[in-house]
Amino acid sequence: MRTLWVHLLVLLSANVVSAQQCDLVLSGKVLDFHDQSPLSGAVIEVTARDLYAQTDPLGSFTLKGLCPGVYELQVSHPECSTIFRVVEISEDSEIKISLEHHIEELEEVLVTGESDPNEVASQAEAVLNTETLREFSGASLGDALKRISGVNSINTGSNIVKPVIQGLYGSRVIVMNNEVRMQDMEWGEEHAPTVDINAADRVRVLKGSSALRYGSDAVGGIILMEGSLFPARDSIWGATQITGNTNGRGGTIGSEVNRTWDSGMYASVQGSYRRSGDLEAPDYLLTNTGTQQLGLSLEVGKRSFTSGWNVYYSYFDTDIAVLRSSHIGNVDDLIRSINSGEPEFIEPFSYDLAEPRQEVNHHLGKAEYFRRIEGVGKWEIQYDFQRNRRFEFDINRSSSDIGRPAIDLTLTTHTLQSFLTIDKFSGRKLEFGISGRYQDNFANPDTGVRRLIPDYDRYEAGAFGALEWELSPFWVFDGGMRLDFSRIDARKFYRTSRWNERGYQEDFGDIVVEDLGTQLLTNPVLDYTTFSVASGLSWIPDTQWTVGVNLSASQRAPNPAELFSDGLHHSAARIELGDLRIDKETSYKGAITANYNSQKLSAEVTPYYNYISDFILLEPEGVEFTIRGAFPVWNYRQTNAALLGLDVNINYEWTDMLSSQHQFSLVKGRDLDQDGPLINIPAANTRNAVQLELEELNNLRFGLESRYVFRQNETPENIIVFSPEQNQDVELEINTAPPAYHLMNFNAGLDFELSGKTTLAVNLRVQNLWNTSYRDYLNRLRYFADSPGRNWVLDLRINY
Amino acid sequence: MYNTNNTKTMNSGKITLKLLALIAVFGFWSCSDDDDPAPIDEEETITTLTAVLAETGGSTITLQSRDLDGDGPDAPVITVSGPLAANTSYAGAITLLNETESPAENITEEIEEEDDEHQFFFATTGNINSVTYADQDDDGNPVGLSFVLTTGDAGAATITITLRHEPKKPNDGTLSDAGGETDIAQSFTLDIQ
């Protein structure tokens, strides 16, 4: 195959050479897409030819001695992802190349390169670059993502942070780690993505579900964590970062080393470790909120224009203590916590991680190969393996059970997928892909606690096709469709009383395998076929404006929690109940993205409307009595829902030194069947920041950030429960939202050049500058304690 | 040129086949994994609270709350064996069982062993004069597995028995001061004759 390709190439070039004069000049500029500033040091290589050029400080480059014909250019820059461009030259030409993904812009020459095969032209996309990510070295992915307008988080305390995109979270948001879809029990509200933010060089967020390559069920959006891209030249570089924080009296240390070779080989190793003790709210210590986290990743690969391979392995281990006071006995304890306004257990500072706590580890291995087929495009194949183990330790009644988890789940996933990108048609790019997945969940019976999630096997198969078409220099169309099939084959024990209460005997009587008296062993086998389509149209009237319209319909099969949840959650004193009858949900979403980019101003406004039929939600519904008293029952149910929202993002450069950022996001969620508000919808919020940067003074920088979160005024009604302690019905203020709050953050930094290639960046940050006491509506621990107060962070980063 | 194209098509065809074969292999593996999981008897649950009230040299009255499905949908079944006599002292003794296990596990012993981390609380309404503790933990604080209940005149009364895990000890005898987590909270309606 390889020799064939070479022959072909030689044949082709020989043809060209013999027929034409070879004295053409291709010149151009390489610019940063975001602010259109010139990029110096970018390398432009004519692939398969020994011809390259580097950009000067003005971003300009010149390639001489070209013959008329079609060339493929590889454009790389240390801070941007490498892109490939196809240019057709018949006379001396000038081109402009924008690095850093984003919406494709008008080009003088036809461009069909694969800057990013997954990027969707008409859709809002936001990016966190390495610099921003490193600010959150001691925090989590979910915290960093809040920098993006329209992204919030749902928390369990400060250490368990799940991203919420345009009001949706959990299984509706896909997290991709290095092209691998994370399979980490994302269904639980208290399950954070098991990824190390220190391993990512760039994080992109695609709002909406258009990137069908990754799956059809990302009704909310997709978070793409990406590693470094490695240039094909002999080099070695790395970085070490040490962060210390006062709140929690902890710190993070992280390091990475990268090696690249001329041959296109590369190798990279990265690790980070974080330790922190009890956090502190302004008025009291948050007993048992420490954390410990370890992340490791290794990558080896080889990449050339024609082919490449990559092997990646990462390990992530996190041990998170959950606020002691949040572990409660029954509804009276909850009422007491809500009324007291202060956590019940306040003990001296400690690094101990005591019960309740979680321990999760995640192994991820990936092998990938691609080959570019001349005249066709690019073919990729990828296999990945993941093993996610989750332990949850509750406070046991008996001290003899200490150290014995209440939850012990092992989720093992194998995925094989293949993609074919066809870029031989100028102005049109086609992409096809198929994928297969097998997943096994094992719930260890040694816990002595009934399984919250049963043992199951899941099989998935999917296929998709997508098209990106430049209709004219001003119009780009993209569209695609995806078909998925999934089967869950579970082995679940039901309490006979629950089986009868749900009325399952009539509908599911035939799945009972064995009757054990008080329990029934069942074998539910559930099949789902989901179909998704997405299309978008972008209008690019000039280099400054882009207006895109995106329409999509996507279906999501229910996750195991929605189907099978069955038990008591001590962390929130609630009984959670899934339902076997839950069927797939269908989302219809329309969004408009208006984007303006000039030298000084960049602005983006994204209004959207999302109608979801058979939306699956979890809501407090009633109460059940046990010997411990009453417990609110949280039931999964389906309804028709609508989300209407607006995200605004404005950046303005006042002078060379002074810039500011303004963001606002608002989303309204309605339960259309019950004509009431949806639960857990983020409150409107606005973020405003100013940054002063003096380049000549060692990049001396100061920044001030204000984050204002409004009160969520639209929440479902509270429920009425019987309190044995008070011997009467009382209102349980389980849905009442806490008041609005305003946080100020400060940062200052300096860069030093230690030697030729070694730089040191020193940053000081103060979070929650005024030590404001607040609680957030989307924090599950808001019933029990305030959020953390002021935190000083000192951060040293050496790049070498 | 046509030749090359054909080769390519064949090649990608082969690749697709290989892929399908691989997926099939995965499917195969998993199908063999059909072992039934072991049932779990809830070990942390208390299903049954029994309080026996014994009149000195006289009759005994049994108060019982029994919830055999634990966290399941069925509410506890509450029984009181008969009316109490007016103006009488009863010696009370509490037994706790987990009847989801067979044989039933006696949790009373566990509370006795870890009595410094547990305490029962008795809240009454109506014609009960007093409930006093008749036992102590090693630190001299009350536990409540044994108690003395004294009835008043004939009439109606209720008693709510609450077991708290890790309460503040010593406390002022109220639930709100004690804090901790509730392991049991049951109310009984009594008839005093």
Q: Which residues of A touch B30 (CB under 8 A)?
A: 438, 440, 457, 459
> For residue A575, which of A452, A492, A456, A680 has the smallest C-alpha distance?
A452
Verify that A216 and A70 share a domain, yes or no: no
pLDDT at position B32: 42
B30/A329 CB distance under 8 A = no
Is A196 within the bounds of a domain?
no
Q: Which residues of A touch B68 (CB under 8 A)?
A: 518
- pLDDT band at B30, cuts 50/70/90? very low
Q: Which of A74, A99, A124 is the last residue of a domain?
A: A99
B 14-33 residues inside an 8 A Cβ radius of A: 15-16, 19, 22-23, 26-27, 29-30, 33
Verify that A92 and A212 share a domain, yes or no: no
> For residue A475, which of A420, A547, A415, A529 has the smallest C-alpha distance?
A547
- How confident is the model over A51-83, as pLDDT tens digits? 788 888 788 888 887 877 777 788 887 767 677
Q: Per-residue pLDDT averaged across A735-741, rounded? A: 95
pLDDT at position A774: 97
CB A367 within 8 A of CB A311: yes
Interatomic CA distance for residues A691 and A135, integer angstroms: 15
Distance from CA of A645 to the nearest CA of B (A): 39
Q: Which residues of B touch A629 (CB under 8 A)?
A: 182, 184-186
pLDDT at position A108: 25
Distance from CA of A790 to the nearest CA of B (A): 29
Q: Per-residue pLDDT averaged across A107-135, rounded? A: 56
Verify that A209 and A80 share a domain, yes or no: no
pLDDT at position A88: 78
- What value does the mean pLDDT of chain A take? 87
Calculate the alpha carbon distances from B145 to A81, B54, B63, B64, B109 in Å.
70, 14, 14, 14, 10
Q: What is the 3-state secondary structure (H, E, C) of B57-122?
A: CCCEEEEEEECCCCCCCCCCEEEECCCECCCCEEEEEEEEEECCCCCCEECHHHHHHCHHHEEEEE
Is A568 within the bounds of a domain?
yes
- Percent of residues, chain A, with pLDDT higher than 70: 92
Q: Per-residue pLDDT averaged across A515-533, rounded? A: 93
Query: CA-nearest residue of chain B to A332?
Result: B182
Q: Using the predicted structure, report yes or no on whether residue B10 has a pLDDT greater than 80.
A: no
Is A538 within the bounds of a domain?
yes
Which candidate in A628, A722, A726, A727 is best for mutational testing of the B interface (most B CBs within 10 A)?
Answer: A628
Q: Is B140 at the interface with chain A, CB within 8 A?
A: no
Kindly report the CATH number assigned to the domain that includes residue A86: 2.60.40.10
Q: Using the predicted structure, report yes or no on whether residue A214 has a pLDDT greater than 50.
A: yes
Q: Per-residue pLDDT averaged across A23-45, rounded? A: 79
**A120-134, A272-286, A481-495, B44-58, range with the lowest pLDDT:** A120-134
Bond into B170 cis (ω within 30):
yes
Interatomic CA distance for residues A538 and A476, integer angstroms: 5
Interatomic CA distance for residues A737 and A383, integer angstroms: 44
How is residue A635 written in tokens? 């039931």
Q: Is B37 at the interface with chain A, CB within 8 A?
A: yes
Verify that A95 and A234 share a domain, yes or no: no
Is A142 within the bounds of a domain?
no
pLDDT at position A111: 29
Verify that A216 and A88 share a domain, yes or no: no
pLDDT at position B58: 81
Place of tokens 């779990």: B40
Is A262 within the bounds of a domain?
yes
Interatomic CA distance for residues A753 and A741, integer angstroms: 40
Q: Using the predicted structure, report yes or no on whether residue A27 has a pLDDT greater than 90.
A: no
- What value does the mean pLDDT of chain B take? 83
Interatomic CA distance for residues A463 and A419, integer angstroms: 10
What's the predicted TM-score (pTM) here? 0.83
**A530-534, A650-654, B26-30, B39-43, range with the lowest pLDDT:** B26-30
Is A115 within the bounds of a domain?
no
CB A437 within 8 A of CB A450: no
CB A458 within 8 A of CB A525: no
Q: Is B105 at the interface with chain A, CB within 8 A?
A: no
The β-bridge partners of B185 are B162
- pLDDT band at A13, cuts 50/70/90? very low
CB A143 within 8 A of CB A151: no
The β-bridge partners of A666 are A646
- By CB neighbour count within 10 A (0-12 exposed, 13-18 middle, 19+ buried), where does A592 fall? middle
A328/B110 CB distance under 8 A = no
- Percent of residues, chain A, with pLDDT higher than 90: 58
**Which residue did the predictor score with more confidence, A39 or A614?**
A614
**Helix-strand-coil split of chain A, %, nearest 5:** 10, 55, 35
Verify that A89 and A206 share a domain, yes or no: no
> For residue A46, which of A65, A59, A18 has the smallest C-alpha distance?
A65
pLDDT at position B8: 38
- How confident is the model over B113-130, as pLDDT tens digits? 989 999 999 999 999 999
Q: Using the predicted structure, report yes or no on whether residue B1 has a pLDDT greater than 80.
A: no
Q: Which of A51, A80, A99 is the last residue of a domain?
A: A99
Looking at the partner chain, which of B26, B117, B166 has a beta carbon nearest the beta carbon of A414? B26
CB A190 within 8 A of CB A573: no
B8/A376 CB distance under 8 A = yes
Q: Per-residue pLDDT averaged across A119-126, rounded? A: 59
Verify that A227 and A89 share a domain, yes or no: no
Is A2 within the bounds of a domain?
no
Kindly report the CATH number assigned to the domain that includes residue A292: 2.40.170.20
pLDDT at position A107: 26
**What three-state secondary structure class fits A11?**
helix
**Which residue did the predictor score with more confidence, A570 or A38?**
A38
Query: CA-nearest residue of chain B to A419?
Result: B16
Q: Is B43 at the interface with chain A, CB within 8 A?
A: yes
pLDDT at position A155: 93
The β-bridge partners of B84 are B192
Number of domains in chain A: 2
A497/B69 CB distance under 8 A = yes
**Which residue did the predictor score with more confidence, A454 or A219?**
A454
Q: Using the predicted structure, report yes or no on whether residue A207 has a pLDDT greater than 90.
A: no
Verify that A247 and A377 share a domain, yes or no: yes
Interatomic CA distance for residues A662 and A649, integer angstroms: 6
Place of tokens 């494709």: A104
A381/B176 CB distance under 8 A = no
Calculate the alpha carbon distances from A787 to A290, A540, A772, B170 in Å.
14, 44, 9, 30
- How confident is the model over A455-510, as pLDDT tens digits? 999 999 999 999 988 888 889 898 999 999 999 999 999 999 999 999 999 999 99
Q: Per-residue pLDDT averaged across A664-673, rounded? A: 96
Q: Which of A99, A132, A163 is the last residue of a domain?
A: A99
**A212-226, A236-250, A261-275, A672-686, range with the lowest pLDDT:** A212-226
pLDDT at position B65: 95
| CATH (residue range B48-192) | 2.60.40
Q: What is the 3-state secondary structure (H, E, C) of A713-762?
A: CCCCCCEEEEECCCCEEEEECCCCCCCCEEEEEEEEEEEEECCCCCEEEE
Is A180 within the bounds of a domain?
no
Interatomic CA distance for residues A248 and A594, integer angstroms: 42
Which residue range forms the structural domain that includes residue A80? 20-99
**A288-292, A417-421, A568-572, A748-752, range with the lowest pLDDT:** A568-572
- By CB neighbour count within 10 A (0-12 exposed, 13-18 middle, 19+ buried), where does A649 fall? buried
Q: Using the predicted structure, report yes or no on whether residue A699 has a pLDDT greater than 80.
A: yes
Can you give the residue ranges of every domain in chain B? Answer: 1-34, 48-192
Looking at the partner chain, which of B4, B29, B186 has a beta carbon nearest the beta carbon of A4? B4
- How confident is the model over A301-348, as pLDDT tens digits? 998 878 899 999 999 999 999 999 888 888 888 888 888 889 988 999
How is residue A667 written in tokens? 């989303």
Q: Using the predicted structure, report yes or no on whether residue A231 has a pLDDT greater than 90.
A: no
Verify that A681 and A547 share a domain, yes or no: yes
**What three-state secondary structure class fits A336?**
helix
pLDDT at position B144: 94
